[in-house]
Amino acid sequence: MNSHLLSLADFSQKDLQSFIDRARVLKAERSQGIRHQQLSGRTICLLFEKPSTRTRVSFEAAMYGLGGQVIFMSAKESQLGRGEPLKDTARVLSRYVDAIVVRTFGQEVVEELARYSTVPVINALTDLHHPCQVLSDLMTVLECKGTLEQTRTAWIGDGNNMANSWIEAASVFGFPLTLACPAGFEPDAAILAKARSRGSSPITVYDDPAKAIAGADVVNVDVWASMGQEAEQEERQKVFQGFQLDEALLAQAAKDAIVLHCLPAHRGEEITDEVLEGRQSVVFDQAENKMHIHAAILEHFMLTGRSC
Ligand code: CP
Ligand code: NVA
């Protein structure tokens, strides 16, 4: 397996399934009160350039839950904010900690850190990908539906980092994925082309939410303006009219469809309060699963995945 986790397409189905399987065991054990110490004596650094509630706390809780320690550093408070090169930061942090978990803007930042780091680098969200989140989402789908391959998944909204990681997940696991994005807001063309070239699953992009959601077992939404796009918020609100997941749109999915949202949600924009709080929404299970997936990832990369 890879020594860094930068995007889902870098992994085989067996690799990704093993994270989910392990996370499910850790979740069950935690509910039985079983506590672990296998990362005792190990430390991770969380290097975050964007805000976070779930990802930060779930990585920290996961690490502490396995007996390890965490150092959190916001990039603007570090020397990175004053222009220290990524390659120097990577080599210095590698001497102190056992893994680096990064939330940043460009995918090239995590790639550069990984190139120079001698410890695993884990992508905790870039503008292009949110791989750990989508692993938690896949775990949630498996819990609810019992299968990934047999589920029809829909994505409604922006072709953003989450959409890109879902496209990669569909191509690795081979489940059908239909997306509806307004013209000009489609997913990354290169990611889409590469995923389609694997030929494992049909991945279809529409500009009509009704077409994408028809009969879907899993319905995914996310904010219309991601972190870093705040200046476009007003413009996006106009463009994305018609892409809101409300009860009428959800009624066109399968009757027992589940609703996923990685959160934070903007109620009244990409999703209504009724749908987010409704019986089909599993968003808080999804949020919980982040912690179990992160524990499985940390355990794997620190116990077996060190690059040196
Ligand atoms: N879903 C997610 O990544 O949430 P945070 O931005 O709160 O970490
Ligand atoms: N697409 C969103 C996800 C937040 C977890 C963003 O990048 O802001």
pLDDT, tens only, 72-108:
999 888 999 899 999 999 999 999 999 999 999 999 9
pTM of the predicted model over 0.95: yes
Q: How do beta strands 203-206 and 218-221 pair?
A: unpaired
Show the tokens assigned to 251.
């009624």
Based on the fold, state whether residues 140 and 211 are members of the same structural domain: yes
281 is written with which tokens? 């929404």
Tokens matching residue 256: 């027992």
Residue whose CA is closest, atom 1 of ligand 2? 226
Q: Mean of the pLDDT values across residues 4-17? A: 97
Select from 153, 144, 146, 145 the least CA-distant residue to 174: 153
Place of tokens 């039985």: 32
120-149 tens-digit pLDDT: 999 999 999 999 999 999 999 999 999 999
Q: Is the pLDDT of residue 306 over 70?
A: no
Write the CATH number for 143: 3.40.50.1370
User: In terms of domains, do 85 and 164 share one?
Assistant: no
pLDDT at 305: 53
Overall average pLDDT of the 157-177 stretch:
98
Our answer on whether the CB atom of 124 is closer than 6 Å to any ligand 1 atom is no
Phi then psi for residue 78, to 5 deg, are -95, 175
Question: Which residue CA neighbors atom 3 of ligand 2 most closely?
Answer: 226
Q: How far, in Å, CA of 132 to CA of 154, rounded?
A: 19
Measured in Å, residue 308 CA sits from the centre of ligand 2 at 32
Pocket lining: 263 vs ligand 1, CB cutoff 6 Å: yes
Assess whether 72 and 154 both reside in one domain: no
110 and 178 fall within a common domain: no
Domain assignment of residue 2, yes or no: no
pLDDT at 308 over 50: no
| Pocket of ligand 2 contains residue 55 by CB under 6 Å | no
171 and 277 assigned to the same domain = yes
The yes-or-no verdict on residue 30 having pLDDT over 90 is: yes
The pLDDT value given to residue 1: 74
Assess whether 140 and 106 both reside in one domain: no
Could you tell me if residue 298 is inside a domain?
Answer: yes
137 and 256 co-located in one domain: yes
Percent of the chain topping pLDDT 90: 95
On whether both 165 and 62 belong to a single domain, the answer is no
Q: Is 164 in the pocket of ligand 2 (CB under 6 A)?
A: no
Could you tell me the two tokens for 102?
């990064």
Specify the residue with its C-alpha closest to ligand 2, atom 6. 226
From the CA of 46, which ligand is nearest? Answer: 1
Within-domain flag for 120: yes
Q: Are residues 280 and 294 in the same domain?
A: no
Best residue for ligand 1 mutational test, from 49, 50, 54 (most atoms within 8 Å of Cβ) = 54
Averaged confidence pLDDT in the chain: 96
Question: 231 lies in which domain range?
Answer: 133-287
Which residue, by CA, sits nearest to atom 6 of ligand 1? 52
Instruction: State whether 101 and 149 are in the same domain.
Output: no
Residues 118 and 43 in one domain: yes
Same domain (yes/no): 294, 283: no
Which residue has its alpha carbon closest to ligand 1 atom 1?
A: 262
In a domain, 3, yes or no: no
Amino acid at 248: A
